[in-house]
Homo-oligomer: A and B are copies of this chain.
C-alpha cells in the first residue's frame, strides 16, 4: 500500500510551490502552459489523489450528502436510487444511515456525526414524529425532508400527497360498483396511513355512503398483518367485495388471504394497494395500486438540497409530486 501523495511532494518534484500545483489541479487559471503540463504529468505519475478531508476542512464542503432511511425496504431503496441519480450527476457522494432500531438516540447521533462529514441531510422517515423533526430543525446541517406527513415544519419538504390518490382509488372501486369496501390501515403512528384512510373515508362520504367501521381494520404495513386483517374482513357476515390496503405489502397479504379462503381475484374480491413497489407487478394477478413516485421524490429532494447548498431560495411550502392510479389485474367490476 503506497503512501498517499501530497501536493507538496508534487511541488518538490516539479520545483514549484504547492500553491501552483493546487492551481493547476483545480484549473484555477494563471498558470503557464509549461508548468501546467509538467505538474499534470508528475501528478499522474505519482498517482496523486486529493485528500477529501483536508479539502473539506478548508472549504467547509465535502461533496457528501447523508440520506437517512428507516431501513432498506423497497420504498426506501427506490428513494435512494433517485437520490443516487441526482447526486452522482452533481458529483456528490451519498452517506447512508438507517435508523431502524433505537430511534431517538440514533437520530441524534446521525445529525451529530454527519456534522462536518455531510454538507446536508436528506431525511426519508415517513413515520417521523414531531419530536424527530425538532431534532432536525435544531440541526446545524441543512436538511430536506422526504415524504414527511406529520405536523407542520419549517423544514423544506418534498412529498407525494396521500389523501387525493387514496380518494381516487376508492372512487375507482366505487365506479366499479363496489359498495362494501374494506380498508387495511398501516401502523397508527404513520401520517401516511392516516391520510390514506382519510381519502378512503372522503370518497365514501362523497358518494353518500356511511363508513362501516367494521370494514376498517388495523394493519401495520406488513404482508403478515395484511393477511390477518383481510381474513377478518372476508369472514364478515356481509363480506366486502373489495379491499383497499394502505400499502402494497398489506395488499399482497390480502390477496393471499382471499386465495386461502378459496376466493378468486378479481372475480370475488378486488384488491387495491398503495405505493407500487416492484412486487406489485410481480404477483399474480398483478396488483392495481397507487403509484407513488418514490424515485422522483428522492431525485427532487436531492436536487432541492443541492440548490439550497448553492444558496438558492427555499420553496415556501412543501414540494408536492403527483401520484397516479395504476390499474392492473386485481380489480374488476362487482359481479
Spell out A's residues near B (CB within 8 Å): 1-4, 47, 49-54, 56-57, 62, 64, 72, 77, 80-81, 84, 88, 93-98, 112-113, 115-117, 138, 140, 142, 223, 252, 259, 278-279, 282-284
Contacts and interface: CB of A to CB of B under 8 A. Distances in A.
A95 B94 contact: yes
Closest 5 CB pairs of A and B: A51-B116, A49-B115, A52-B117, A53-B57, A52-B116
Contacts of A54: 57, 116
A84 B106 CA distance: 14
Copies in the complex: 2
A117 to B, nearest CB: 4
A261 to B, nearest CB: 15
A145 to B, nearest CB: 16
Nearest to A108: B49
B84 A115 contact: no
A53 B53 CA distance: 5
Contacts of A252: 282
A2 B223 CA distance: 44
A95 B97 CA distance: 9
Contacts of A223: 282
A44 to B, nearest CB: 12
Contact of A117 (B77, B93, B278): B93
Contacts of A93: 95, 97, 113, 117
Contacts of A140: 1-4, 47, 49
B95 A1 contact: no
Contacts of A1: 140, 142
Contact of A4 (B80, B84, B115): B115
Given A1-B142, A252-B282, A284-B284, A52 B84 contact: no
A64 B117 contact: yes
Given A57-B57, A62-B53, A140-B1, A98 B115 contact: no
A117 B93 CA distance: 10
Contact of A283 (B3, B98, B117, B284): B284
A95 B72 CA distance: 14
| Max chain B Cβ within 10 angstroms of own Cβ: one of A64, A97, A140, A283 | A140
A282 B138 CA distance: 42
A32 to B, nearest CB: 26
A115 B52 contact: yes
Contacts of A138: 47
| Max chain B Cβ within 10 angstroms of own Cβ: one of A51, A88, A138 | A88
Given A4-B116, A72-B77, A81-B72, A95 B49 contact: no
20 contacts: A3-B140, A4-B115, A4-B116, A4-B140, A47-B140, A51-B57, A51-B116, A52-B113, A53-B56, A53-B57, A54-B116, A64-B95, A72-B84, A77-B77, A80-B96, A84-B98, A88-B98, A93-B117, A95-B95, A96-B96
